[in-house]
Amino acid sequence: MNLSLKTVAQATQGKIQGFENPVITGVAFDSRQVQPGDLFVALVGENDGHAYLDQAKKAGAVAALVQDDHQVGAVLPAVSVADTLVGLQDLAKAYLAEVSPKVVAITGSNGKTTTKDMVAAILAQKYQTFKTPENFNNEIGLPVTILSMPENTEVLVLEMGMDRPGQLTFLSQLARPDVAIITMIGEAHLEFFHTRANIAKAKLEITAGLKSGGLLLIPADEPLLTEASELPAETKTFGPEPTNCQETLKETKFVDQGQKFAIPLLGRYNVRNALSAIRVGQAFGLNLETIATALKNFALTKNRTQMLTAQNGALVISDVYNANPTATKEVLQALAQEETQDLVVVLGDMLELGDQGPALHAGLKDAVLAAQPKAVYLVGDLMVNNLGPALLKSDLSQTKIYNYQKNEIDQLTDDLNQRLQANDCLFLKASHGIHLEKVLDKIIANQ
């Protein structure tokens, strides 16, 4: 990127303060992440970014985007706009138009990050590809992602989050996708949306900015999407996953369109994520063999069924980034097929399920029993009060159950450290709010 203050002012309809004419080579909104040459965007949220102008300058910022005629004085040359968030978004739009890559936009209740990583790994076989870092998927993260893309980017793969109606319309109109994917409609956010039909409607807003002739990919087994009115002309479906998937602890194998695939992940839902990514690869002209090679080696953002090793050599499957009933059952099902290792399961609350939370927690009972763990550690009120009693009513001669409150993570860590054997397989899953990653910090080797 190579921007002048004048270009920034034009893109944001802002006013220039100061006379220098710096060359802007990047954009940052967090002063701790400013790189030399950056434009520092002073966002106003819980913190007021204007308080960090000095710090941004020290870190190498050459200009600032400020709000409400904030006077930067001698600190930095600046462009002043009515609202710096809108300014950031306008700037992203202008840069996107200039670089003009093909855009793939991915939303869905679950599987966005996983699918994004898969799609990017596949398209990188043929194109200069840039993807959303980590989980930068909202009104701030999306423009920042766009502004971080190298100028030679041919395909931009964007994750789009959604927690209220209207949000995806906005993000989609900002990014103007050529391909849009809805991974699935889940139970997440039921607390706010009440019905899955409402969630489906809000997810379909991803087509609001779809370019004319653009492709929409939706799951074949989701009538809330396949039967929706006003789908784009180019709508294709993916899945459901083939019935003969072969799962081991380290990988899942399946056949699609006659091609063998192996993905380094557990859980059939990941096959579904892969199927949509395969369709995108094909839409971009890649052959199935190339796509299979990319999927075999792709690197997933951490803590999503990530395989790790404990200090004592035990296998640890970390799925502590997020949890929902469907995915939790599916990984337990995969683990049930493993006979070689002693299984220890740590399950923390699955949040944001609204009224259905208690029943959905108790509903994990059969999947847990089928996996035949030697121990189950439950963390949080929903697990302890619902899954705990359901398990205790069953025949559990082989399984020990331990209960923990949300604030007893340290105790849980100590107990696991003491009891974990070298030939155990430790599986941890919970919503992010339970912070099971704190357990990992102390159990995993070399951390």
Contact between 114 and ligand ATP by CB under 6 A: the answer reads: yes
Q: Which does 70 bind (CB under 5 to 8 A by kind): ligand ATP, Mg ion, none?
A: none
Contact between 131 and Mg ion by CB under 5 A: the answer reads: no
DSSP 174: H
The residue nearest ligand ATP at its CB is: 111
Cα–Cα distance measured from residue 80 to residue 14, given in angstroms and rounded to the nearest whole number: 5
Question: Looking at 50, 93, 102, 112, which residue binds Mg ion (CB under 5 A)?
Answer: 112
Question: Looking at 241, 247, 256, 319, which residue binds ligand ATP (CB under 6 A)?
Answer: 319
In this structure, are residues 21 and 5 in contact, taking their beta carbons and an 8 Å threshold? yes
Residues 149-178 that bind ligand ATP (CB under 6 A): 161
User: Which one, 129 or 324, has the nearer CB to ligand ATP?
Assistant: 324
What does the block give as tokens for 386? Answer: 């619902």
Q: Which stretch binds ligand ATP (CB under 6 A): 62-70, 173-181, 323-331, 400-408?
A: 323-331
246-247 and 252-256 strand pairing? antiparallel
Question: Looking at 50, 112, 279, 361, which residue binds ligand ATP (CB under 6 A)?
Answer: 112
CB of 362 to ligand ATP, least distance (A): 19
User: Which one, 126 or 432, has the nearer CB to Mg ion?
Assistant: 432
Number of residues near ligand ATP (by CB under 6 A): 23
Residues 116-145 that bind ligand ATP (CB under 6 A): 135
Residues 133-192 that bind Mg ion (CB under 5 A): 135
Contact between 80 and ligand ATP by CB under 6 A: the answer reads: no
Residues 256-275 that bind ligand ATP (CB under 6 A): 269, 272-273
CB of 113 to Mg ion, least distance (A): 3
What does the block give as tokens for 252? Answer: 């899942």
240 cis-preceded (ω within 30 degrees of 0): yes
Q: Where are the alpha helices (DSSP H) in 14-140?
A: 53-58, 84-99, 112-123
Tally of CA atoms within 13 A in the half-sphere of 45 that contains its CB:
9
Question: In a 3-state reduction of DSSP, which class is residue 215?
Answer: strand
Packing angle of the helix pair 84-99, 5-12 (nearest 10 deg): 110
Contact between 247 and ligand ATP by CB under 6 A: the answer reads: no
Q: What are phi and psi of 253, to 5 degrees?
A: -110, 145
Q: What are phi and psi of 310, to 5 degrees?
A: -75, 165
Secondary-structure percent of the chain, ordered helix, strand, coil, rounded to 5: 40, 20, 40
77: left (phi over 0), alpha (psi -120 to 50) or beta: beta
Rounded to whole angstroms, the maximal C-alpha distance in the chain is 78
Contact between 183 and ligand ATP by CB under 6 A: the answer reads: yes
Q: Which does 111 bind (CB under 5 to 8 A by kind): Mg ion, ligand ATP, none?
A: ligand ATP
Q: Which residues bind ligand ATP (CB under 6 A)?
A: 108, 110-114, 135, 161, 183-184, 186, 269, 272-273, 304-305, 319, 321-324, 326-327
Q: Which residues bind Mg ion (CB under 5 A)?
A: 112-113, 135
